């Protein structure tokens, strides 16, 4: 049943915590999924959360640690000694989750935790994972997996499967390797169970999709999404099997990347949470606001340079907000489409020139449609022919410029290996505001000179 956190439940839990009623507190949480307990933790202060955490059964507490956000986990573990962290929690985690948590610890504490892990093989697996970049396939993978040798028989495999499966929560694939540890393919559990005593090399699936340990995490997510995989094997440079990446880890990558791109598009320069300090939030948000302010100053200078024109034709001022807003909106639309396509590797094999031409066609149709509507409005509402022609023509030109600019910038950033999400939001809006105003006044000067 889906858990729903209510104010009544939270008040009752706080009363139990305040009364130090351990029995009632643990009874209110013991049947919850770790993710539900995390939801409860987010509503508690740190003292209350620590009181609850100590009461949890160790395996459940380890699962809760994995589900927590990094900042919350850091606060919760602030006073936990390294040996307790190792023996009570890390020993009960899969290697990839344990490596993620240990990677967040101070350097001095990492060594202490690793040295206190009772299972030395588990400690070695974690140490191996810590050597990889966290944004690579090596940093995502786990070491727990089922492997069989291609020269074994199915009966030997079944016996080995029972042994290896004791330390694994979920079995997605049985991986087939040779005597050198090179990945050869996969073997389905169904085929393994239904096949009589045959050699594995005669029945395994040789058609396998894999990634190398240094493959970027985003690329791993794209590959798994493209081929609908729930797990993908990771190999080293010579093809030796190192471990699998499972769908739960890839979902985290997709979510984090989406949050990062959304924040960039909103003008937030680093990954922040609502619970972060004022200084952290200020540091992430102020730079883009300053860029926007500087852009506004340049826009004001453009208007100032055409002060005499506005004095002669003050009706032009009525449409300044419209021109600026349309330029910014069109630019954001174009850049958002390109950034989304780049992020999902769905740009296809068209050249950048073809992409720009396609966007130019869309911009032209949008511009003609909106300009025609604005032209009809001004013909009905305005007695000034120069204003009518100026506003409609300027809107068409601004839409075309903003669309091309919004397409070109993310493509250029991507070519330079810079996150194209930087091209969205305040940057595009600011540049298009300035350019739109400049084009508006240039076109206005031309038409008013011709028609007056």
Considering 246, 261, 290, which residue would you say is the last residue of a domain? 246
Which CATH number goes with the domain that contains 444? 1.10.357.20
- Do 170 and 319 reside in the same domain of the chain? no
Tens of pLDDT, residue by residue over 64-110, are 888 888 878 888 887 788 888 888 888 888 899 899 899 888 887 88
Q: Please count the other Cβ atoms lying within 10 Å of the Cβ belonging to residue 282.
A: 13
Asked whether residue 300 carries a pLDDT value surpassing 80, the answer given is: yes
Asked whether residue 213 carries a pLDDT value surpassing 90, the answer given is: yes
Instruction: Classify residue 1: in a domain, yes or no.
Output: no
Nearest to 436 by CA among 373, 367, 379, 385: 367
Please give the tally of structural domains in the chain: 3
- Do 185 and 333 reside in the same domain of the chain? no
pLDDT band at 308 (very low <50, low <70, confident <90, very high): confident
- Do 100 and 217 reside in the same domain of the chain? no
- Do 118 and 236 reside in the same domain of the chain? no
Asked whether residue 161 carries a pLDDT value surpassing 60, the answer given is: yes
Instruction: Classify residue 21: in a domain, yes or no.
Output: yes
Considering 104, 135, 166, which residue would you say is the last residue of a domain? 135
pLDDT band at 445 (very low <50, low <70, confident <90, very high): confident
- Of 10 and 310, more confident: 10
Tens of pLDDT, residue by residue over 226-271, are 889 999 999 999 999 999 999 888 888 888 777 776 666 666 666 6
- Do 187 and 116 reside in the same domain of the chain? no
CA distance 37 to 31: 10
- Do 84 and 194 reside in the same domain of the chain? no
CA distance 310 to 444: 10
Q: Which residues pair with 216 in a beta bridge?
A: 136
Q: What are phi and psi for residue 380, nearest 5 degrees?
A: -85, -40
Instruction: Classify residue 265: in a domain, yes or no.
Output: no
Range of the domain at 71: 7-135
Q: What pLDDT score was predicted for residue 141?
A: 93
- Of 165 and 398, more confident: 398
End-to-end Cα distance, the chain: 74
Which CATH number goes with the domain that contains 117? 1.25.60.10
pLDDT band at 136 (very low <50, low <70, confident <90, very high): very high
- Do 303 and 383 reside in the same domain of the chain? yes
Instruction: Classify residue 273: in a domain, yes or no.
Output: no
| Residue 378 neighbours by CB under 8 Å, 6+ apart | 387, 388, 391, 392
- Do 158 and 127 reside in the same domain of the chain? no
Instruction: Classify residue 75: in a domain, yes or no.
Output: yes
Tens of pLDDT, residue by residue over 356-385, are 778 888 888 998 999 999 999 988 887 888
Instruction: Classify residue 262: in a domain, yes or no.
Output: no
Instruction: Classify residue 269: in a domain, yes or no.
Output: no
- Do 292 and 430 reside in the same domain of the chain? yes
| Least confident piece of the model among 58-62, 203-207, 415-419 | 415-419
Q: What pLDDT score was predicted for residue 244?
A: 94
pLDDT band at 180 (very low <50, low <70, confident <90, very high): very high
- Do 298 and 446 reside in the same domain of the chain? yes
Considering 226, 246, 266, which residue would you say is the last residue of a domain? 246
- Do 129 and 155 reside in the same domain of the chain? no
| Residue 328 neighbours by CB under 8 Å, 6+ apart | 402, 428, 429, 430, 432, 433, 436
CA distance 202 to 138: 30
> For the chain, what is the mean pLDDT?
84
* Both structure tokens of 5: 């956190």
Tell me if the pTM is above 0.85.
no
* Residue 235 near residue 181, CB atoms below 8 Å: no
- Do 333 and 446 reside in the same domain of the chain? yes
């Amino acid at each position: 049943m889906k858990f729903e956190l209510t104010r009544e439940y939270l008040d009752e839990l706080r009363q139990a915590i305040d009364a130090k009623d351990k029995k009632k507190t643990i009874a209110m949480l013991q049947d919850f999924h770790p993710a539900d307990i995390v939801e409860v933790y987010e509503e508690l202060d740190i003292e209350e959360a620590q009181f609850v955490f100590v009461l949890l059964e160790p395996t459940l507490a380890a699962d809760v640690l994995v589900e927590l956000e990094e900042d919350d986990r850091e606060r919760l573990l602030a006073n936990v000694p390294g040996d307790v962290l190792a023996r009570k929690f890390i020993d009960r985690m899969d290697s990839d989750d344990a490596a993620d948590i240990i990677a967040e610890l101070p350097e001095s504490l990492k060594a202490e935790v690793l040295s206190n892990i009772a299972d030395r093989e588990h400690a070695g697996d974690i140490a191996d994972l810590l050597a990889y970049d966290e944004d690579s396939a090596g940093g995502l993978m786990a070491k727990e997996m089922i492997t069989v040798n291609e020269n074994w028989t199915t009966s030997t495999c079944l016996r080995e499967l029972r042994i290896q499966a004791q330390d694994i929560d979920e079995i997605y694939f049985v991986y087939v390797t040779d005597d050198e540890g090179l990945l050869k393919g996969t073997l389905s559990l169904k085929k393994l169970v239904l096949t009589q005593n045959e050699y594995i090399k005669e029945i395994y699936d040789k058609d396998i999709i894999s990634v190398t340990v240094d493959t970027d995490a985003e690329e791993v997510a794209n590959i798994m999404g493209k081929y609908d995989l729930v797990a993908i094997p990771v190999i080293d440079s010579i093809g030796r099997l190192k471990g699998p990446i499972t769908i739960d880890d890839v979902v985290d990558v997709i979510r984090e990347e989406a949050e990062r791109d959304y924040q960039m598009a909103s003008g937030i320069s680093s990954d922040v949470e609502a619970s972060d300090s004022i200084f952290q939030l200020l540091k992430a948000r102020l730079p883009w606001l300053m860029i926007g302010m500087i852009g506004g100053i340049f826009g004001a200078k453009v208007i100032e340079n055409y002060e005499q024109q506005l004095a002669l034709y003050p009706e032009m001022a009525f449409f300044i907000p419209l021109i600026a807003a349309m330029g910014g909106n069109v630019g954001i639309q174009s850049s958002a489409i390109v950034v989304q396509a780049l992020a999902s590797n769905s740009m296809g094999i068209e050249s950048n020139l073809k992409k720009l031409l396609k966007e130019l066609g869309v911009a032209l149709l949008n511009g003609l449609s909106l300009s025609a509507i604005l032209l009809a409005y001004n013909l009905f509402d305005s007695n000034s022919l120069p204003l009518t022609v100026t506003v409609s023509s300027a809107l068409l030109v601004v839409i075309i410029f903003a669309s091309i600019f919004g397409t070109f910038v993310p493509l250029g950033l991507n070519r330079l290996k810079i996150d194209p999400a930087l091209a969205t939001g305040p940057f595009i809006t600011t540049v298009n505001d300035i350019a739109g105003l400049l084009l508006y006044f240039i076109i206005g000067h031309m038409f008013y000179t011709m028609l007056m």
